Structure formats: C-alpha cells, structure tokens
C-alpha cells in the first residue's frame, strides 16, 4: 500500500479528512451537509458567491436541507463555503457536483466538469482523492479527468486517487436521502475504488463498489434511461387508451396488483428536471460515437416530448365541449414545478404547455405554492403566480393540473372549477364532479 493511501485511509477512519464539494446545488449541498454531520471538516466551493455567503450565514437554499441543520454545522465549525478555489489544496477528498446540461444539439456539455477539473488540476497534491458525481457519459472519468490529473506529473494510486460515484438524490423525497440511498462507487483503478468506498462508507448506510468508473457512470444512465423509457411507454399507453376510450389509470392500477413482473409507471404532462430528459442523451451520444444507435432512447424522447401538446389538445377538447374556443379563454395552470413538492422549474413541461396555450390566444395564469414567477423562454413572457381563491378557480374557463403538489385540496378545487384537465390523477374518487374532469 502506498504511503499516501495509508495516510488518507487513516485520516478518513479518524474523520480527520477534509472534504471539499465543488458545486453546491441540489446534489452538492445535501452531500456536503452529510459529510459535516458525519464529523468531517467540510468546505463547499461555489462560483455563485450568493450561495457561498448563504451557507456561511448558516442558511439553506435547498428545500430538502433545513436551515437549522446548516446553521448547526456552521456553528460547530464543520461546514463552510468559499469562492476561493486555491483552498482546494487543503482538501483531502474533493467531490465534483457541477451541472451536466446538454448543448442545443443535445450533445453532452461537460464544460462545467472541465472548469471544475482545471481548478483541481491547479491545486492537486499527493494524498488527494478526487471523485466525480455529476451524471455523465461512460468514460468521462477515465478519458477526461485522468489525463488532466496525470498531466500534473502526479501518479494515480501512488499520489492521487480518482473515482466516479453517481448521485441518486431525489429532491422532495421524504423517505430516501443521501444517507439511506445505497452509493455506487467505481474507481479508475481498484485502489481508487477502495479509497472512495471507504469515504462514502463513513457517511452513507451502504456502498456498492463496482469494477470500474465506466460501470458506475453507465449505472446512473441506465437508471434514468429505464425511467425515461417506461414513462414513454405509459405516455404512449395514455394516448392509446384515449383513442380506445379506456381509463389508463384504472388499467395501470389493475396491472399493479400483480405481485411480480410489473412495476407501475404513470403518464404525465411530459418529463422535466435535470435528469430524465437529459441523461439518456449522454448514453446515446456515447453509443453513437461508437456507431451504435440507441433506439429506445430516441423513441422515448419522441413520445415524452409530445405530451405537452397532448395536454393542450385535451384543453381544446374540454373547452370545445363547453362551446368555447381556446382563444380568449381563461386557463389556470395548477403546479408548474417539474414534479411535486419542489420548486425546481428546469425543463418543466408546464412551460411548454403555457406557451402553447398563449400562442393560441388563451389568457393563462398559474398557481404553485413553491414557485412565485416563471420565465417563458420561447416568447420572453414573465408570469407571476396567483394566490388560490374561490374567485380565481371559478372565473377560469379551464383548470389544468400539471403538477400535483401534496398540499392542494383537489376536491375543493374541482368543486369550484368549471372544467378540470387532470394530467396527474389527482381528482380520482371525486365522483360527484366526474362530468367536469378530463383525465390524461
């Protein structure tokens, strides 16, 4: 065992290792706080000074992380954040949690990973473990990070260690969090995998070590592609059942009674967030580089991306039943975040639905307990959310449930609405109002 490996493992087991997390968003901040709670001296590295300042004031800006937790750790001097990347040198473990968006062409944009890696490269010293957590195509850790770190002259496994570990956090999930979700770890070498597994073992309940960084990278992409494809399947089923006049939700509920071989997925207004709409493209892009066309991925994307238009079709159909055109009708959108109980608007299908309705002449309003204002990139409009009231609901010609946040009383909403387009099955069981409801 190299002297550097031994020293690092000793520091980790004594919880003396200093942990730096680069990028303090939905993924990085919960991870950083978990290390602080695990007794490690934890420092966040951010390009956004406002986020670093908030942490240092003891404030959280991520709904899943209570401010009290941040304040307690800052008070205990185990948690802090900085925009000074020179302090990366003082860290024993550095974990990269920066965004991995797509370019307009739907090719991977690893520029944030490159920017973070350049800062790390400039500070790399013997005895450091670098881990990439950002979701990315298989090969990124080996082909992009390793050459950059090797270029410093330091040697893998003797001087530094390098691994990939996918993040599986599910914002808004009350049952599963950073600590109780099994952590998959793959190293660019066996030694790196061992060291990285020990680090995560110090803060999470279970670590699953795989044979390479590529397997860990592909594992994350399989998880999200699995979801994109299955959501695509039920979205297609929803449109198929609509054509055949069958209740999709009842079909799925019945199939879900089978105790094996079936896992329910539900249709919706389209996919959103930073993961499901983007990550499968990282896999298909890499496959295409090797001459392989990933057909399930493109088919799922095609089906899922049609859903916002399908919702607008349902609005048109519902208004038509009431002898009203979309043009000039008041449409109230309920919930605009991409999923329930969070404030994340990234890739939210609500945006496309509202833009399309506006282009058809509808007067659109929205209510979302987590979102105050939205910006529609397609037409440049800004829209402020409205408070929920009997007047707002009863004056709307149509209410569209896009995101079903838990704290909304759908019985009350449906009672006061003229027409409800329900994309989430939130109004199931409201038998007295069935004639007002159109379900996806």
Catalytic center residues = 275
Residue 3: strand, helix, or coil: helix
d(CA 304, CA 267): 9
Q: Taking CB under 6 A as the rule, does residue 99 contact ligand NAD?
A: yes
- Beta carbon of residue 278, minimum distance to ligand NAD (angstroms, whole number): 7
Six-digit token pair at 145? 């990070």
- Sheet of 93-96, strand order: 79-82, 41-45, 18-22, 93-96, 128-132, 160-164, 183-187, 207-210
- Beta carbon of residue 65, minimum distance to ligand NAD (angstroms, whole number): 12
d(CA 166, CA 132): 8
Q: Taking CB under 6 A as the rule, does residue 183 contact ligand NAD?
A: no
Among 21-29, 53-61, 302-310, 428-436, which window interacts with ligand NAD (CB under 6 A)? 21-29
Angle between helices 295-305 and 213-244 (to 10 degrees): 50
Of 34, 92, 167, 301, which lies in the binding site for ligand NAD, with binding defined by CB under 6 A?
167
- Beta carbon of residue 43, minimum distance to ligand NAD (angstroms, whole number): 12
Residue 12 falls in which region: left (phi positive, over 0), alpha (psi -120 to 50) or beta: alpha
Tokens 């919930």 sit at which residue? 335
d(CA 164, CA 117): 13
- Beta carbon of residue 403, minimum distance to ligand NAD (angstroms, whole number): 15
Strands (E), 133-196: 160-164, 183-187
H helices present in 322-386, as ranges: 349-359
> Closest residue to ligand NAD, Cβ-based?
25
Q: Taking CB under 6 A as the rule, does residue 171 contact ligand NAD?
A: yes
Reported as type and span, the H/E element at residue 334 is strand 330-334
- What secondary structure letter does DSSP report for 431? G
- 69/100 with CB nearer ligand NAD: 100
Q: Taking CB under 6 A as the rule, does residue 217 contact ligand NAD?
A: no
- Beta carbon of residue 132, minimum distance to ligand NAD (angstroms, whole number): 9
Of 135, 197, 225, 414, which lies in the binding site for ligand NAD, with binding defined by CB under 6 A?
135
Of 8, 12, 19, 24, which lies in the binding site for ligand NAD, with binding defined by CB under 6 A?
24
- 97/207 with CB nearer ligand NAD: 97
Residue 266: strand, helix, or coil: coil
Greatest distance between any 2 Cα atoms in the chain: 79
Of 17, 21, 28, 297, which lies in the binding site for ligand NAD, with binding defined by CB under 6 A?
28
Report angle CA 170, 176, 177 to the nearest 5 degrees: 70
Tokens 């090719």 sit at which residue? 107
- 115/246 with CB nearer ligand NAD: 115
- 115/263 with CB nearer ligand NAD: 115
- Beta carbon of residue 275, minimum distance to ligand NAD (angstroms, whole number): 5
Q: Taking CB under 6 A as the rule, does residue 204 contact ligand NAD?
A: no
- 21/334 with CB nearer ligand NAD: 21
Site string for ligand NAD, 78-97 (x = CB under 6 A): -------------------x
- 167/236 with CB nearer ligand NAD: 167
- Beta carbon of residue 417, minimum distance to ligand NAD (angstroms, whole number): 32
129, 196 in Cβ contact below 8 A? yes
210, β-bridge pairs: 186
- 25/63 with CB nearer ligand NAD: 25
Q: Taking CB under 6 A as the rule, does residue 55 contact ligand NAD?
A: no
d(CA 358, CA 355): 5
How many Cβ atoms are within 10 Å of 430's Cβ, its own excluded?
17
Positions in 261-300 near ligand NAD (CB under 6 A): 274-275
- Beta carbon of residue 61, minimum distance to ligand NAD (angstroms, whole number): 9
Residues that bind ligand NAD (CB under 6 A): 22-28, 45-48, 51, 97-100, 112, 115-116, 134-135, 167, 169, 171, 274-275
């Amino acid at each position: 065992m190299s002297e550097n490996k031994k020293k690092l493992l000793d520091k980790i087991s004594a919880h003396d290792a200093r942990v730096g997390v680069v990028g303090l968003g939905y993924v990085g901040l919960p991870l950083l706080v978990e290390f602080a709670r695990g007794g490690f001296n934890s420092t966040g590295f951010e390009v956004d000074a406002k986020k670093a300042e908030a942490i240092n004031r003891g404030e959280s800006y991520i709904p899943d992380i209570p401010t009290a937790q941040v304040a307690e750790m800052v008070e205990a001097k185990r948690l802090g954040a900085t925009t000074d990347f020179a302090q990366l040198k003082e860290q024993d473990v550095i974990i990269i949690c920066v965004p991995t968006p797509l370019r307009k062409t739907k090719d991977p944009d690893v520029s944030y990973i490159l920017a973070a890696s350049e800062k790390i490269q400039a500070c790399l010293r013997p005895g450091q473990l670098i881990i990439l957590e950002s979701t990315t195509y298989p090969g990124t850790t080996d082909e992009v990070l390793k050459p950059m770190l090797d270029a410093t002259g330091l040697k893998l496994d003797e001087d530094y260690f390098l691994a990939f570990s996918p993040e599986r956090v599910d914002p808004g999930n009350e049952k599963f969090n950073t600590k109780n979700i099994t952590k998959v770890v793959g190293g660019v070498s066996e030694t790196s995998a061992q060291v990285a597994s020990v680090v995560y073992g110090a803060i999470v309940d279970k670590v699953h070590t795989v044979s390479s960084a590529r397997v860990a990278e592909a594992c994350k992409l399989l998880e999200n592609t699995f979801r994109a494809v299955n959501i695509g399947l039920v979205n297609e089923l929803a449109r198929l059942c609509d054509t055949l006049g069958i209740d999709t939700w009842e079909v799925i509920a019945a199939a879900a009674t089978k105790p094996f071989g079936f896992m329910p997925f539900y249709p919706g207004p389209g996919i959103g967030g930073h993961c499901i709409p983007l990550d499968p493209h990282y896999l298909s892009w890499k496959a295409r580089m090797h001459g392989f066309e990933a057909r399930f991925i493109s088919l799922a994307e095609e089906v899922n991306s049609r859903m916002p238009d399908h919702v607008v079709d349902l609005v048109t159909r519902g208004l038509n039943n009431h002898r009203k055109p979309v043009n000039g009708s008041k449409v109230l959108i309920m919930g605009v975040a991409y999923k329930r109980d969070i404030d994340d608007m990234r890739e939210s299908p609500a945006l496309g639905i509202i833009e399309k309705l506006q282009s058809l002449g509808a007067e659109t309003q929205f209510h979302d307990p987590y979102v105050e204002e939205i910006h529609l990139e397609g037409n440049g409009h800004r829209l402020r959310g409205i408070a929920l009231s009997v007047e707002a609901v009863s004056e709307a010609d149509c209410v569209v449930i896009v995101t079903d946040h838990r704290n909304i009383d759908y019985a009350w909403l449906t009672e006061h609405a003229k027409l409800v387009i329900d994309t989430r099955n939130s109004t199931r069981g409201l038998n007295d109002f069935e004639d007002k409801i159109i379900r996806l």
